[in-house]
Amino acid sequence: MSAKPKLYYFDGRGKMESIRWLLAAAGVEFDEEFLETRDQYEKLLQSGSLLFQQVPMVEMDGMRMVQTRAILSYIAAKYNLYGKDLKERALIDMYVGGTDDLMGFILLFPFLSVEDKEKQRAFIVQKATSRYFPVYEKVLKDHGQDFLVGNNFSWADVHLLESILMVEEKKSDVLSGFPQLQAFKARISSIPTIKKFLEPGSQRKPVPDDKYVETVRRVLCMYYDFKAN
């Protein structure tokens, strides 16, 4: 196996993007193998590498890891981005779970019809501004610290910044009513490893386009349509 972590997924965001974010935040270089054909996927299945017959899959530290949350938890713990004790870890898990729920509304957005995309865009913005962002705004205001948990940079901060940027792609001024989150976004974006990942030419993936959607459908034999929430 490669000395660097090796990521197996499509050349696009999907469920792998948060893994890319966390590795980049930790300053870890990684390689990627992009799935472009059904044959590639079948070979992975036949090799037994995909424990539950799904990607993402990450080769790292002599393991072939699947299940996005398990991979992220491992990376966070390995690179000291998971709090200093069980209480901090519980908070990080809660905050990550919340942002994960929000990002889940965005994950299937590229696979919707034009009509459903407009409905989903409004739904995403409404959920972000009424359910999720107010939580983080209050947390940051109440404890007056730079980071969400223990005043140390953690997985929760990385995940929240990723989700903020994703929602801003749907509505650019979505943080207009959240001054704490505006300041948080600026702070976290200026951390050297994050700043590097946000620069052009990094392994951060762009907004999914029709080519990405077509590739995913072809590789996974996904012939059905998704519906808006």
Residue range 143-182, pLDDT digits in tens = 999 999 999 999 999 999 999 999 999 999 999 999 999 9
**Residue 68: inside a domain, yes or no?**
yes
CATH of the domain at 56: 3.40.30.10
Q: Which residue has the tokens 């792998």?
A: 16
**Residue 229: inside a domain, yes or no?**
no
**Rounded to whole angstroms, how far apart are CA atoms 1 and 30?**
12
CATH of the domain at 162: 1.20.1050.10
- pLDDT tens-place string over residues 184-228: 999 999 999 999 999 999 999 999 999 999 999 999 988 766 788
**Residue 1: inside a domain, yes or no?**
no
**Rounded to whole angstroms, how far apart are CA atoms 110 and 3?**
34
Q: DSSP characters for 45-89?
A: HHHT--TTS-S-EEEETTEEEESHHHHHHHHHHHTT-S-SSHHHH
Percent of the chain scored above 70 by pLDDT? 98
208 lies in the same domain as 185:
no
pLDDT of residue 105: 94
Q: Domain range holding 22? A: 6-79+198-220
**Rounded to whole angstroms, how far apart are CA atoms 186 and 223?**
41
**Residue 111: inside a domain, yes or no?**
yes
- pLDDT tens-place string over residues 39-98: 999 999 999 999 998 999 999 999 999 999 999 999 999 999 999 999 999 999 999 999
- Please report the sign of the dihedral spanned by the C-alpha atoms of residue 51, residue 163, residue 149, residue 187: positive
- The tokens describing 151, both together, are 């005043």
**Residue 105: inside a domain, yes or no?**
yes
37 lies in the same domain as 106:
no
For residues 45-69, one letter each, b for 16 or more C-beta atoms within 10 angstroms of the residue's C-beta and e for the rest, the string is eeeeebeeeebbbbbbeeebbbebe
Please give the average per-residue pLDDT across 8-18, as a whole number.
97
Does residue 2 have a pLDDT over 60?
no
**Rounded to whole angstroms, how far apart are CA atoms 148 and 146?**
7
